[in-house]
Amino acid sequence: MAKYKLEYIWLDGYEPVANLRGKTLVKDFPKFPTLKDLPNWGFDGSSTRQAEGHSSDCVLKPVASYPDPTKENGVLVLCEVMLPDGKPHPTNARATIIDDPDTWFGFEQEYFLYKDGAPLGFPKGGFPAEGQGRYYCGIGYSTMGDIAREIVDLHLDLCLEAGINHEGINAEVAKGQWEFQIFGKGSKKAADEMWMARYLLQRLTESYGVDVEYHCKPLGATDWNGSGMHSNFSTKFMREKGGKKYFEKLMEAFDKYKNEHIAVYGPDNHMRLTGLHETQSIDKFNWGIANRGASIRVPNSFVPAGYKGYLEDRRPNSQGDPYKIASRILQTIKTVPQK
Ligand code: ADP
Ligand code: MN
Ligand code: MN
Ligand code: MN
C-alpha cells in the first residue's frame, strides 16, 4: 500500500467563464489507481456559485485521470459536477456533449502571460517601443524576454508527462502571447485535455508570480493581437464520405445557428471578431478556402480530396469553454442529414 495524492479538479459556477478548482484527497492504493478505482467525492457548492448555503453539497464524479508530473504518487482527477440525485449539475457542460468516439477535435489555445497587470516583457505603464512583427515564432532575449520560454517549455513537458496530446507550441504575434495545440480522438477527449493543460499552466505560473490572461482582447481596441481558440473538427462522415452537397448543407447549418455558436464561443468576442486582423465580423458567417479572414477556414487539402477532411472554426476565443464549443459544433452537425 502507498498513499496517493488525488487532485480532484472541476469547473465552478462563475459566469461567463468558469474557473478551475482543485482539492486533494489522500487515499491508500496497492498500485497506481486507474479511473475506475477513484471514488466520487464532494464539495461545498455554496463557495463556488453552484449551490445555496442551506443545501450545498455537490458531487465530483471522476471522468478522466492523469499522472501528476509534479508529485510523487500524485494523480490529476478531472471531474464532472453532479447533483446529489446523480443528474448533471446545470454548470456541467461536458455532460451535454454528444458521445462519439469517431469525432476528432483539435484546439489551438492562444493566451498571454501577464505579470503586474501587463504582458510579460511590456515596459511599465506602456507599450514596447517596437510594435508587432518579430514576436511570432521569435527568438532572442531582446525580442522574447527571459522567463516566458522557460514557462512555456516546462508547461509542454508537464503536459506530455501527464499524457496530454499536445501537437505543438508557438510564440504568437503579440509580445508575451503564446499558443499550444491539443488534438484528441473522441468527442470529449481534446476538451478534457485542454482543461487539464490550462490547469497545469495556471499551477505552474503561480511560482513565477505570473498569471495566464485568457481574455480575447486584453489590450483592448488596439492593433495588438487578440487571442483565439480555433477549433478544428471532423466526424467520421466528414473524413470518409464528405462531398460537396454535404459540405454545403453543413455550412448552411453553421450559418443558420451562427448566433447559438457565438453565444458559447467565449465572452467579449465582439472586441476580437471585428472583421479586421484576420477575423470575420461577429454577426456574419462565411467560409473560405485557406482564408484566415473567414468564420470557417477550409484547409487547402479539403476540396481536392472530394470535400473530405476537417474544418477550422476560427471564431471561438481563448476564454471559451472547449466543452461548450464541442457540444455546440456537434449539435449543429447533427441537424444535417448524412446522405
Ligand atoms: P494553424 O495555426 O495554421 O491554424 P495549427 O497547426 O496551429 O494550424 O492547428 C491545426 C489544428 O488542427 C491542430 O490542433 C490539429 O490537431 C487539428 N487537426 C488536424 N487534423 C484534424 C482532423 N482530421 N480533425 C480535427 N482536427 C484536426
Ligand atoms: Mn495555430
Ligand atoms: Mn495562432
Ligand atoms: Mn488556426
- Beta-ladder partners of 60: 41, 81
Phi-psi region of 81 (alpha: psi -120 to 50; beta: other; left: phi over 0): beta
**What does the pLDDT read at residue 54?**
80
**What does the pLDDT read at residue 183?**
98
How many angstroms does the Cα of residue 320 sit away from the middle of ligand 1?
A: 17
Which of 111, 136, 166, 167 maximizes ligand 1 atoms within 8 Å of its Cβ, making it the mutation to test the pocket? 167
Closest approach atom of ligand 1 to CA 183: 16
Q: What does pTM read for this prediction?
A: 0.97
H or E stretch covering 296: strand 296-298
Q: Counting every residue, how long is the chain?
A: 339
Of 217, 289, 230, the C-alpha closest to 109 is 230
**What does the pLDDT read at residue 47?**
95
User: How do strand 311-313 and strand 2-11 relate by DSSP bridges?
Assistant: unpaired
Of 208, 218, 118, 192, the C-alpha closest to 155 is 208
Fold of 2-91: Ubiquitin-like (UB roll) (3.10.20)
Fold of 104-334: Creatine Kinase; Chain A, domain 2 (3.30.590)
SS3 content of the chain, % helix, strand, coil (to 5): 25, 30, 45
**Average pLDDT for runs of 10 along the chain of length 339:** 97 97 98 98 96 89 98 98 96 98 98 96 93 96 94 98 98 97 98 98 98 97 94 98 98 98 98 87 96 95 98 98 98 95
In this structure, which residue's CA is closest to atom 21 in ligand 1? 310
d(CA 274, CA 325): 20
Which of 137, 181, 300 maximizes ligand 1 atoms within 8 Å of its Cβ, making it the mutation to test the pocket? 181
The set of cell numbers assigned to 260 is 447559438
> What is the residue whose three cell numbers read 479586421?
276
Contact 74, 163 (CB under 8 A): no
**What does the pLDDT read at residue 339?**
77
In this structure, which residue's CA is closest to atom 9 in ligand 1? 108
Q: Domain boundaries in the chain?
A: 2-91, 104-334
**What does the pLDDT read at residue 279?**
83
Which of 232, 239, 307, 329 maximizes ligand 1 atoms within 8 Å of its Cβ, making it the mutation to test the pocket? 232
Q: To the nearest 10°, the Cα dihedral for 216, 222, 225, 227? A: 0
Closest approach atom of ligand 1 to CA 182: 14
Residue type at 311 in one-letter notation:
L
**What does the pLDDT read at residue 256?**
98
